[in-house]
Chain A
């Protein structure tokens, strides 16, 4: 593997809220190599989106705060970089696309204005050059009648087309890293398939490294080379994509894979949910954050936090070997109602986020 392009090292992002301190990202480390696609998967509140905002220098401060760690791009730490220096990197070397393109596109400017601004600023293009380049980009991302549509405003495009516009904008300076935060979550499946194929084709053409943030294990399987699984602000497992799906080592990863119904499987079996609710980051449990929901947990898990350790080019943070350990019912969730599908019966609802 070549030298990492982007290195995240022990990143800590905290938010001050009325109710107390939230450690949204709590010591996250990972590398991204040139040209690869790294997936970050996790549920709401896992810290995956905040991680991406921190890389881009977009964490709102206050209430947010980078409490520690480094984000090194091509060897240079981006944390604490002056705004002007960061602005020269953002959109130029590192670009980002969001779930909702309307958050990234200015509704009062035409697509032409917005696309041209990027290259005029970072590449010193004239308006004429920038416009030619922009039409070219729109054609590359598959927008019909690009030369005419470039004069439209964002709201005149459909959701899928808007996402293409945002991808065109993100790619306009041929960035070395593209951070895609749930880029297809708001789209219908046929459009999602188009966008995922488009991102792969552009990556092959330009060689951009992609950090793909999603909650969808299918999207991960479709598009990623390597995967980090996040839970409660931490990475709990990292592995090459085939190995993650073939032999998950963290109980949370295993739980996620077991809980999703599959398109290619008949309905013979009952789904195996992960019991309980995601943790409250305001009051994280002592020990491993997943322990209260974990069918493999042992006493030690409730007292000590398992470190993220490396074995055979994979990392996972768990005291138990899920391949051999026995499962037990998840005790304190309480058995209420039918089957095993019970929420936290005995704990109070305030625990839920």
Chain B
């Protein structure tokens, strides 16, 4: 539990040690741009010092815009990309430096489901083989037992076990995501990293999958890291939520608190940007539009990375980088919004907010 001070992070209230812990994780990608002459070297800081904890049975949501590093973070945890620095602990064991063989074993406890279920399923394999494969790799059960297990899993995710011998293209998007979930469950994991699991699905189907994930969590005691750009879905499913910007966590809090009392100016801007499906409320809401765009992650910032776009920017923000501070509601900002300022309220334009 000795995380660097700058990366102090909200600890869930239960006294149990976290099931999964990430300490100051960095994933940097070096790049070379241009041709022989005028060649530029640099580093994309996709994940740049993230610390987080996931408790047993908890759902931690991770939100942020494209390029914020949320997917790379998940891949770094599972070592689908190699972290540049930092530590990952799972069930009391450090896993970022174990051998390949050991990592294979670790992955039976730590699984992932992906956004595009079709791209993540082998089109030439039957559903039965797709779901059984992780068991084969893990050396679980004999052939007959595996077949029964596949049928049990298909049933569990709401698919007819008779579909065993069919191919992925015969299924709709929602059904394919169920197959992806069954495959992830095949090795009895304790944690599932869900990377945009519903964003490719039609609205009416999204709710089916969200409900399924919640049911499975209850039945099997699973823990989720739920990564999505859809803030409404994350509010619905997550117990705690972390907001990422340019490779860093800028705010972490209980779901309700984060949505009702955001403290980071970026979080507030993000929330106010989401249109609510209610025309009357939508007309009454304040929309503080965020100017500009997410800058390229290959730049180094002496100060706060959000300063360029921030309505509350002060001189200090350009000089010093704010750490993620706070216990149950952590925020990385020198001038966070007041605790009692709701994002529909009027208290947020107080002193200091310099606008363009």
A189 located at the interface, meaning its Cβ lies under 8 Å from any Cβ of chain B in the complex: yes
Give chain B interface residues in 236-260, CB to chain A under 8 Å: 236-237, 255-256, 259
Pair A263/B259 contact, Cβ less than 8 Å: yes
Return A159 CB to nearest CB of chain B, in Å. 8
Q: Chain A, 203-238, contact with B by CB distance < 8 Å: what is the 0/1 string?
A: 000000000000111111111100000000000000
Give chain A interface residues in 245-277, CB to chain B under 8 Å: 245-246, 255-257, 259-267, 270-275, 277
- Give the CA-CA distance A266 to B255 in the complex, in Å: 9
Give chain B interface residues in 255-287, CB to chain A under 8 Å: 255-256, 259, 269-282, 287
Query: Which of A158, A217, A346, A352 contacts B293 (CB under 8 A)?
Result: A158
Pair B255/A263 contact, Cβ less than 8 Å: no
- Give the CA-CA distance A10 to B326 in the complex, in Å: 61
Residues of B within 8 A of A245 (CB): 277-280
A337 located at the interface, meaning its Cβ lies under 8 Å from any Cβ of chain B in the complex: yes
B347 located at the interface, meaning its Cβ lies under 8 Å from any Cβ of chain A in the complex: no
B156 located at the interface, meaning its Cβ lies under 8 Å from any Cβ of chain A in the complex: yes
Pair B155/A273 contact, Cβ less than 8 Å: no
Which one of B163, B208, B279 has the greatest number of beta carbons of chain A within 10 Å?
B279
Pair A341/B211 contact, Cβ less than 8 Å: yes
Return B73 CB to nearest CB of chain A, in Å. 17
Inter-chain contact total with CB atoms closer than 8 Å = 193
Pair A257/B175 contact, Cβ less than 8 Å: no
Pair B158/A274 contact, Cβ less than 8 Å: no
Pair B155/A336 contact, Cβ less than 8 Å: yes
Pair B158/A336 contact, Cβ less than 8 Å: yes
Contacts A263-B259, A341-B208 known; A220 to B277 CB distance under 8 Å?
Answer: yes
Residues of A within 8 A of B272 (CB): 193
Residues of A within 8 A of B14 (CB): none
B106 located at the interface, meaning its Cβ lies under 8 Å from any Cβ of chain A in the complex: no
A349 located at the interface, meaning its Cβ lies under 8 Å from any Cβ of chain B in the complex: yes
Contacts A188-B229, A215-B203 known; A264 to B281 CB distance under 8 Å?
Answer: yes
Query: Which of A215, A257, A263 contacts B271 (CB under 8 A)?
Result: A263
B174 located at the interface, meaning its Cβ lies under 8 Å from any Cβ of chain A in the complex: yes
- Give the CA-CA distance A52 to B125 in the complex, in Å: 38
B54 located at the interface, meaning its Cβ lies under 8 Å from any Cβ of chain A in the complex: no
A43 located at the interface, meaning its Cβ lies under 8 Å from any Cβ of chain B in the complex: yes
Interface residues on B, range: 35 or more
Pair A273/B211 contact, Cβ less than 8 Å: yes
Residues of B within 8 A of A222 (CB): 275-276, 279, 282
Pair B235/A261 contact, Cβ less than 8 Å: yes
Pair B65/A217 contact, Cβ less than 8 Å: no
- Give the CA-CA distance A213 to B280 in the complex, in Å: 20
Name which residue of chain A comes closest to B59, CB basis: A267
Residues of B within 8 A of A189 (CB): 65, 229, 231, 270, 273-274
Name which residue of chain B comes closest to A272, CB basis: B207
Residues of A within 8 A of B289 (CB): 190, 193-194, 197
Contacts A191-B293, A218-B275, A277-B205 known; A338 to B158 CB distance under 8 Å?
Answer: yes
A334 located at the interface, meaning its Cβ lies under 8 Å from any Cβ of chain B in the complex: yes
Q: Chain B, 121-154, contact with A by CB distance < 8 Å: what is the 0/1 string?
A: 0000000000000000000000000000000000
23 contacts between A and B (CB under 8 A): A161-B293, A188-B229, A190-B290, A193-B290, A197-B289, A215-B202, A224-B279, A261-B235, A263-B232, A267-B236, A271-B210, A271-B211, A271-B236, A273-B205, A274-B207, A277-B205, A337-B155, A338-B216, A338-B219, A342-B158, A342-B208, A343-B158, A352-B171
**Besides A190-B289, A192-B275, A273-B205, 11 other CB < 8 A contacts?**
A189-B270, A220-B277, A221-B276, A245-B277, A245-B280, A261-B207, A266-B235, A271-B211, A273-B208, A336-B155, A339-B215
Q: Which residues on B are within 8 Å of A, measured CB to CB? A: 65-66, 155-160, 163, 166, 170-172, 174-175, 178, 202-212, 214-216, 219, 229, 231-233, 235-237, 255-256, 259, 269-282, 287, 289-291, 293-294
Task: Please name the 7 residue pairs, one residue from A and one from B, whose CB atoms are nearest each other, closest first.
Answer: A337-B158, A352-B172, A218-B275, A338-B215, A273-B207, A261-B236, A274-B204
Q: Which residues on A are within 8 Å of B, measured CB to CB? A: 43-44, 158, 160-161, 188-194, 196-197, 215-224, 241-242, 245-246, 255-257, 259-267, 270-275, 277-278, 334, 336-343, 345-346, 349-350, 352-353
